[in-house]
Each structure stands twice: as structure tokens, then as C-alpha cells.
Amino acid sequence: MPAGSPLVKAFGNGDLEITRYTEKAFAPEDPTLAEIRTRSDAAGLPPIQVGALDGLHLEVLARAFGAKKAVELGTLGGYSGVCLLRGMGAGSHLWTFELDHKHAVVARQSFAHAGLGDRADVIEGPALERLDSIENHAPFDLVFIDADKEGYPAYLDWATDNLRVGGVVLADNAFLFGEVVHEPETRPQEAQRIRAMRKFHHQLVHGGRFRATMLPTGEGLALGVKVS
């Protein structure tokens, strides 16, 4: 078992042989990213950072959308942030929000070790209380949501107000680990998160501000392009 978050998150991938082939063929994790994963695990961070192929998705999507200014909600050890910045290229900047100070320390080390420390601001504290501190840099090109699932609708509201038209919002764990298909009444411990994720999906698809789809990755990566 590799350190940290599994390299292959199999939920949603019906054929594990195809998954294994894809991991081998596309080689999503290089030594720098592997070091972040190992160091995060050694520091005691929870093994919930994005999988290796998910990180590659983030890099390639950031490149495809030509993102130069991005916001990340949920830094953890900096793995996904490094992937985003790699895709964003020279002259870009990432503002990333992390609730836990211990995680933020590890993330700052990750950005520095990757040679990206001058392009990443790690902002500590509850994101919804701190997001207004960067609104002077809006409009942004990309917002990546990978934080508390109850907060997804509110994070989407903020992204709607602060993305440029043509900007993109990405949200990881959009399948809610398989729970989103269950009725909240049948999952009392998950009911709040199920309602929040369903509300997020409804706002993204039917709110009139985004054209959206679901990329059926292992975790579900929701993607919306702002159209108005």
C-alpha cells in the first residue's frame, strides 16, 4: 500500500485492469509528487489527497483552460495545488485555503520543494471567513473545490461571483464516496452531506450560470464553465 492517498481510487472505475493500464500508460506521478504524498503521510495528514491520476487531470485541465489565477478550497499537503500550478505555467498564481495549521505547514514545504513557493499563497482558517481577503484579485480563471462537503453550495456561490465568464469550477468527491445516490433519510449520519452535495449539483446544473458536466473519475469530478 503506497503512502498517503491511494494512487488508484477505484470507485466509479468499473474495470480495474483498465485502471491499472491507464496508471501505467499515463504515468501520472513523478518523484516530486510522490515525495509530497510520502511526506504528508509521515506528517500524519489524513490519506485523503487526490489520487495520482486525479492530480494529472487537474494539471491538464488547468492547461486546457489557460488558467493563470486560481483558487483552491482545501489545501491538505499541497499535492493538488502543485498539480494546478504546473498546468497554469509561468506568471500564474494560486490562492489556496486550509483550515488546519499542521496541514498548511506541510503544504508550504511542498510548494517550496516543487519550486513554486513564490506562486502559492496558503491562507489558514475557515475558507468562507477568509475568501473576501482575495476578492481584490478577482475575477479568477479557475476555482477547485475539495474541502468540507457541507460547504460545497456556499463555495459554488462564491465561485459564481468571482470567476470570469469562461472560467471553470472543479469539484472533487462529487460522487460523495457513493453516498450521493442514497436518500438522506436512509443515511442519517451522512444526511447533511448528501443534501449539500445534491444542492451543489442542482445549482451547478440548473442555476443558469454554468454549463456543467460530471467527469466520471474514481471520485467524480464535477466541472462547470461559467457562461453568464
Query: What would the mean pLDDT of 131-142 be, rounded to a whole number?
Result: 98
Q: What is the pLDDT of residue 15?
A: 77
Q: What is the pLDDT of residue 168?
A: 98
The length of the chain in residues reads 228
Q: Which three cell numbers stand for residue 93?
A: 498564481
- How many CB atoms sit inside 10 A of residue 143's CB? 27
- Tens digits of residue pLDDT in 69-114: 999 999 999 999 999 999 999 999 999 999 999 999 999 999 999 9
Query: What is the distance between the alpha carbons of residues 170 and 91, in angstroms, rounded to a whole number?
Result: 21
CATH class of 16-226: alpha beta
Q: Which three cell numbers stand for residue 105?
A: 505547514
pTM for the full predicted model = 0.94
- Tens digits of residue pLDDT in 144-193: 999 999 999 999 999 999 999 999 999 999 999 999 999 999 999 999 99
Q: What is the pLDDT of residue 20?
A: 85
Q: Where are the domains of the chain?
A: 16-226
Q: What is the pLDDT of residue 1?
A: 40
Nearest partner of 68 among 137, 15, 3, 140, judged by Cα: 140
Query: What would the mean pLDDT of 135-152 be, rounded to a whole number?
Result: 98
* Per-residue confidence band for 8, with pLDDT thresholds at 50, 70 and 90: low
Position 3 pLDDT exceeds 60: no
Instruction: Classify the phi-psi angles of 91: left when phi > 0, otherwise alpha if psi is within -120 to 50, otherwise beta.
Output: left
- Tens digits of residue pLDDT in 38-77: 999 999 999 999 999 999 999 999 999 999 999 999 999 9
Q: Which three cell numbers stand for residue 44?
A: 500524519
